[in-house]
Amino acid sequence: MKEDRAREQANFSRKPTIAYVLGENLYLNITNRCTNRCRFCLREQGKGIGGYNLWLPYEPSVQEIIAALEEVGELNRFREVVFCGFGEPLLRLGAVKAVASYLKERWRVPVRIDTNGQANLVYGRDVVPELVGLVDAVSVSLNAHEEGAYQDLCRPALGEGSFAAVREFLRSCRRQGLRVTATAVAYPGVDLEAARRLAEEVGVEFRVRPWLTEEGSEVEVEGKKEQKRLEELLRGKVIAEADLSQGTVKLVFTDGTRFERTKTFEGMIMATLFAADGSTVLSTRI
Ligand code: SF4
């Protein structure tokens, strides 16, 4: 195991990465600062993801970020360009706006920001209107359904009120007409169903994200055991209703339980079984 770990570390690029490709998307890593210290954060584990070293020796200037994008070239071939790296992109609001503006003027590719949703608390004003016209979608890490759980999981430096600020940020994104999705990581102890209910109350979409390792694979909390267990739980169930539209699979069984198969932003397929009362029985990557 130790040797495997050493080999993985050796495979990581020594060069810090500003722009990196994962699946069909191009990602931008523009800061290593963050107002959170989430327990599941990849920064707690190591250097980066998928062989890309995401620790930056300094924050790249707008010109350097644009140069990295020009070097990649042909950006319209990507599904999205996403501000998402080893830190909170909106801590560099000015740089995000300038680079997004370049992307809108030079390319036709959709732009997304993955954020912890605390920007309004950081700047003391609602910054969402400033993103309108520059950004198409925002993915906000909600990760909890109430302040206490959020504090425990995400350990925000801005303390009490951080979760309320995230919720308000989601509302503002919705009001401003941005395509907004609240997400929660399938990390032990996270009440995915309660987070989903809260997202629905706020009126935004909800997605479960896998808990990733540096290699980009899901953390083997229970690993294959989880998938086996899911198979066992599904065995013998009778489908009462099925919705196979828009690439998702939603099944309702005669005993009131539900199954959903969804694709994450990272292109991973998640399978979730819900109990009749709506609580999550099991959520795993398949
Ligand atoms: S908000 Fe994102 S970058 Fe910040 S600590 Fe949490 S997972 Fe890591």
Give per-residue pLDDT as tens, 2-33: 444 444 455 556 667 999 999 999 999 999 99
Q: 88 with 165, same domain?
A: yes
Closest CA to 216 of 32, 5, 48: 48
Distance of CA 172 from the midpoint of ligand 1 (Å): 21
Model pLDDT for residues 140-150, shown as the tens digit of each residue: 999 988 899 99
Q: Which residue has the higher pLDDT, 120 or 3?
A: 120
Protein residue closest via CA to atom 7 of ligand 1: 41
Q: 118 with 253, same domain?
A: no
- Is 23 contained in some domain? yes
The two three-digit tokens of residue 97, written as one number: 């706006």
Pairing of strands 239-243, 205-209: unpaired
Strand partners, 186: none
Distance of CA 22 from the midpoint of ligand 1 (Å): 18
Q: Which residue has the higher pLDDT, 77 or 267?
A: 77
Q: 142 with 60, same domain?
A: yes
Pocket of ligand 1, candidates 39, 43, 86, 265: which has the most ligand atoms within 8 Å of its Cβ, to mutate? 43
Question: Could you give the number of structural domains in the chain?
Answer: 2
Question: Which three-class secondary structure state does DSSP give residue 6?
Answer: helix
- Is 192 contained in some domain? yes
Domain coverage including residue 32: 2-209
Q: 144 with 243, same domain?
A: no
Number of Cβ within a 10 Å radius of residue 24: 12
Tell me the C-alpha distance between 169 and 159, whole Å: 16
Distance of CA 116 from the midpoint of ligand 1 (Å): 7
* Residues with C-beta less than 6 Å from any ligand 1 atom: 34, 36-38, 41, 43, 87-88, 116, 141, 154
Protein residue closest via CA to atom 3 of ligand 1: 87
CATH code of 150's domain: 3.20.20.70
Instruction: State which H helix or E strand residue 148 sits in.
Output: helix 147-154
Answer yes or no: is pLDDT of 97 > 60: yes
Q: 79 with 116, same domain?
A: yes
Answer with the one of 157, 185, 209 that is the final residue of a domain: 209
Distance of CA 154 from the midpoint of ligand 1 (Å): 8
What are residue 25's phi and psi, to 5 degrees? -110, 155
* Predicted pLDDT at 264: 62
Strand partners, 112: 82, 137
Question: Which three-class secondary structure state does DSSP give residue 159?
Answer: coil
Query: Half-sphere exposure (CA, 13 Å, Cβ side) for 159?
Result: 1
Pocket of ligand 1, candidates 56, 83, 141: which has the most ligand atoms within 8 Å of its Cβ, to mutate? 141
Q: Which residue has the higher pLDDT, 207 or 222?
A: 207
pTM of the model: 0.75
Judge whether 126 and 120 are in contact, CB under 8 Å.
yes
Q: What is the DSSP string of 175-242?
A: HTT-EEEEEEE--TT--HHHHHHHHHHHT-EEEEE--B-TTSSBP-SSTHHHHHHHHHHHTT--EEEE
Pocket of ligand 1, candidates 27, 28, 33, 36: which has the most ligand atoms within 8 Å of its Cβ, to mutate? 36
Answer yes or no: is pLDDT of 265 > 90: no
How much is the average pLDDT of 135-156?
93
Pocket of ligand 1, candidates 154, 190, 209: which has the most ligand atoms within 8 Å of its Cβ, to mutate? 154
- Is 215 contained in some domain? no
Phi-psi map region of 155: left, alpha, beta (phi>0 left; psi -120 to 50 alpha): left
Judge whether 150 and 198 are in contact, CB under 8 Å.
no
Q: 79 with 198, same domain?
A: yes
Q: 71 with 182, same domain?
A: yes
The two three-digit tokens of residue 108, written as one number: 């036709």
In whole numbers, what is the pLDDT of the chain averaged over residues?
87
* Predicted pLDDT at 280: 77
Closest CA to 280 of 186, 203, 210, 198: 186
Distance of CA 39 from the midpoint of ligand 1 (Å): 9
Question: Which three-class secondary structure state does DSSP give residue 56?
Answer: coil
- Is 125 contained in some domain? yes
Instruction: State which H helix or E strand residue 141 sits in.
Output: strand 137-141
Tell me the C-alpha distance between 238 and 89, whole Å: 45
With bands split at pLDDT 50, 70 and 90, how would you rate the model's confidence at 262?
confident
User: Which range (153-157, 252-256, 272-276) has the least confidence?
Assistant: 272-276
- Above pLDDT 70, what percent of the chain? 87
Answer with the one of 181, 209, 237 that is the final residue of a domain: 209
Protein residue closest via CA to atom 6 of ligand 1: 38
* Predicted pLDDT at 1: 44
* Predicted pLDDT at 172: 97
Q: 110 with 252, same domain?
A: no
Protein residue closest via CA to atom 8 of ligand 1: 41
- Is 32 contained in some domain? yes
From edge to edge, which strands make up the β-sheet containing 137-141? 19-22, 25-28, 81-83, 111-115, 137-141, 179-185, 205-209
Model pLDDT for residues 43-94, shown as the tens digit of each residue: 887 788 888 899 999 999 999 999 999 999 999 999 999 999 999 999 999 9
Which atom of ligand 1 has the smallest separation from the CA of 37? 5
Number of Cβ within a 10 Å radius of residue 256: 12
